[in-house]
Amino acid sequence: MKYATEFRDGKLARKIAAAIDAECTPDRSYTFMEFCGGHTHTIARYGLEEMLPKSIRLVHGPGCPVCVLPVGRVDSAIELARDHGVILCSYGDMMRVPGSHRMSLLRAKAAGADIRMVWSTLDALKIARENPDREVAFLAIGFETTTPPTAMALKIAKAERLTNFSIFCNHVLTPAAMRAILDGESLPLQGIIGPGHVSAVIGIEPYQEFADRGQAIVVAGFEPLDLLQAILMLTRQVNEGRPRVENAYVRALPAVGNPKAREVIAETLQLRGAFEWRGLGRLPDSALRVADDYADFDAELKFQLPYRAVPDPKSCACADVVRGLKRPEQCPLFGRTCTPDEPIGSCMVSSEGGCAAHWLYGRHRNKAAA
Amino acid sequence: MNEQPRRRDTRLFPRPLDIANGRVDMTHGGGGRAMAQLVSEIFGQAFDNEFLSQGNDMAVMPPADGRLVMSTDGYVISPLFFPGGDIGSLAVHGTINDVAMSGATPLYLSASFIIEEGLPLADLRRIVLSMADASRAAGVPIVTGDTKVVERGKADGVFISTAGVGVLADGLEIGGDRIQEGDAILVSGSIGDHGIAILSKRENLDFETAIESDSAPLHRMIRAMVEAEPEIHCLRDPTRGGLAATLNELANQSGVGLVLEEEALPIKPAVRGACELLGIDPLGVANEGKLLAFCPKDKAEALLAVMQAAPFGSDAAIIGHVVADPLKLVRLETSFGSERVVEWLNGEQLPRIC
């Protein structure tokens, strides 16, 4: 627990908050995006926004893997399990994500589909070995952080000639999403907090292009002190007028990331021409698919899953929430028809989603304090 | 109670059950001789008591002095055996605790078994002996029971349903709707042990931990508590959904707000570490041998001392207080210095925890 609790020290946190306050120039406003859902969760859980001066505004970004997965992809996963007789292995986060007609993996499972919740790709491989007569597919989602285990599973499956195993690959790329946010309609940002675990794979260099576009970038860990420290560093960069990429997560993160993991990814996965993101639309070179050399393990080819774009549920504001254009409570569905128990939009499903985080920790804050 | 354990009737059942190698099959639920032998040699011998040996489909018990309290609970836990207990002891402790949370003294239990074809007889006997031990140690006999066998794949090893009857002394009024503003909130010991012990043994998540389930009967602690402090407003065992679910339930039932202090929560370092690793909140993890108590603030210290002196209560702590709150929120004052709302969790990460 050391290395975790010491980064949750409330007294130190107030000191950093005071330093941020002192750093803020009067009459100037600072808008920063925390890209990652893990950061959103920490900010909401520890009530960090309340510790910050009014001139700092934090915007929740799209870095929650289940939140950016479009309905069409959820439908394909359900189809895979329900219509192809496949044992579909999925991380727990995906189970309640609503697809079309309020169907989800959890509901498809209740209706008879063989869907297994796993904690790692190794579990999926084990299930494939134990069920040689069945097809086993792993529903791969996530940013660069969760990509290496998928890549390793492909290598292992090929080495073991596991002919009944495949991957339904939905891995997406952080820099592509950042580019889309800066290119598209969004709030004017001055800085971005980068996810530490993504950089643990890709390093910090890929963010240089955003610094070149005038964004202050600080890559941070996931404890409250990590985030406050990152906000302090961003504020200083803005005040100095010298945007650059900084690493605030030196205790865990070498600036080069993990070249070995990148090697395995490069061998087993390759860029897709375009991929649809919920909220951000179709983005070029923004996601990975199974590489041609591993095509036998590509569930999309093996089961001929066509991608069908499906519009988001009516009045659901997830698309605006993941771009920081709306706060969760500004969605007409928030807390009314859309709750973590009965999510309509994907941001309400994972605790990393902006809506779920706000529902869990934030929604009563003002009322309770009154 | 009978002094002599019952012997196998060699005229009825010439060959003993092959407990070492045998398995439950469909004949064990068919109502014939095989079922009679299973009931006699596994259940009858283990649970043996004067009520069960009446040999009827029901037990006849003497009149009780006070109001009757009754509760029932089903047990479907996976795995059947886990560090610190098994489905049998859990089925005894859980129902004893449910009866006792009213302040009542539990008197009798019933037990009903739904067994999956193929369950090794050795496993069944181990479970039944564990139930018998738990019931004897608690002083609450299993007085009637039932056995059914279902086809392979229609259950998972064995499901057990127990019911408990107890007697409640006059003057005790303990319930989830009686919590009042100003009450103190106490917990009888460390939280999250059961859920983490089970999780560590799930087939897809085997991790090394010394954590054992806290499964335990709490009726003796409760008797000591109500004798020392009859003004206890509420007792509740925070099982599935952990403290988070139970406290939200109670806040709604009593129409109050609850405020917890994170620093005061007793959590074992290994449980804290496992929760951290898995990204789960110890407040949402199940307990099977803990209770929450609500009493007027000025009685809290005395009640705490009684709990700490009682069996299974040595780590008891005062963890919060009750406030007026029309929103009926459960709030946590974090050691970080902020405050957050404690919500019900969605819980599907841990199916079949009890």
CB contact under 8 A, B343 and A13: no
CA dist., res. A307 & res. B308, Å (int)? 61
At A368 the pLDDT is 42
Nearest-Cα residue of chain B relative to residue A225: B336
CA dist., res. A246 & res. A253, Å (int)? 11
Mean pLDDT throughout A150-159?
A: 98
pLDDT at position B2 over 60:
no
At B97 the pLDDT is 98
Does B337 contact A at CB distance below 8 Å? yes
pLDDT at position A201 over 50:
yes
pLDDT at position B1 over 80:
no
Does B204 contact A at CB distance below 8 Å? yes
Which residue type occupies A55? Answer: S
Nearest-Cα residue of chain A relative to residue B271: A1
Mean pLDDT throughout B119-129?
A: 97
pLDDT at position A81 over 90:
yes
Architecture of the CATH domain A67-173+257-302: 3-Layer(aba) Sandwich (3.40)
CB contact under 8 A, A119 and B204: yes
pLDDT digits (tens, 9 = 90+) for A9-43: 889 999 999 999 999 988 899 999 999 999 998 99
Quote the percentage of chain B above a pLDDT of 90.
Answer: 79
Q: What is the CA radius of gyration of chain A?
A: 21
CA dist., res. A178 & res. A199, Å (int)? 14
pLDDT band at A128 (very low <50, low <70, confident <90, very high): very high
Q: Tell me yes or no: is domain A5-64+177-246 CATH 3.40.50.11750.
A: yes
Residue whose pair of structure tokens reads 């690493």 in the numeric block: A247
Nearest-Cα residue of chain B relative to residue A96: B348
**Burial group, residue B154, by CB count within 10 angstroms (0-12, 13-18, 19+):** exposed
pLDDT digits (tens, 9 = 90+) for B301-316: 999 999 999 999 999 9
At A350 the pLDDT is 79
Element (H, E) at A34: strand A30-36
Out of A247-251, B230-234, B331-335, the most confident range is B230-234
CB contact under 8 A, B340 and A95: no
- What rounded mean pLDDT belongs to chain A? 91
* Facing B276 at nearest CB: one of A4, A14, A363: A4
Nearest-Cα residue of chain B relative to residue A120: B204
Does B329 contact A at CB distance below 8 Å? yes
pLDDT band at B354 (very low <50, low <70, confident <90, very high): confident
* Facing B338 at nearest CB: one of A46, A119, A364: A46
Query: CATH 3.40.50.11750 residue ranges in chain A?
Result: 5-64+177-246
Query: CATH 3.40.50.11740 residue ranges in chain A?
Result: 67-173+257-302
Out of A61-75, A235-249, A336-350, the most confident range is A235-249
Mention every residue, 6+ apart, whose C-beta is less than 8 A from residue B49.
B1, B2, B141, B142, B143
Residue of B206, B340, B342, B352 best to disrupt the A interface, most CBs of A under 10 A = B340
CA dist., res. A176 & res. A35, Å (int)? 12
Q: How many helices (H) and strands (E) does chain B have?
A: 9, 13
At A225 the pLDDT is 95
Q: In chain B, what are the domains?
A: 26-168 (3.30.1330.10), 183-341 (3.90.650.10)
Q: What is the CA radius of gyration of chain B?
A: 21
CA dist., res. B263 & res. A9, Å (int)? 12
CB contact under 8 A, B348 and A95: yes
Q: Are A185 and A323 in contact (CB under 8 A)?
A: yes
CB contact under 8 A, A1 and B269: yes
Shortest Cα distance, chain A CAs vs residue B190, angstroms: 17
Mean pLDDT throughout A185-208?
A: 92
Residue whose pair of structure tokens reads 């095509």 in the numeric block: A295
Mention every residue, 6+ apart, whose C-beta is less than 8 A from residue B186.
B292, B293, B294, B295, B300, B303, B304, B307, B316, B317, B318, B319
> B341: which chain A residues are within 8 Å (Cβ-Cβ)?
360-361, 363-365, 368
* Facing B339 at nearest CB: one of A47, A117, A119: A47
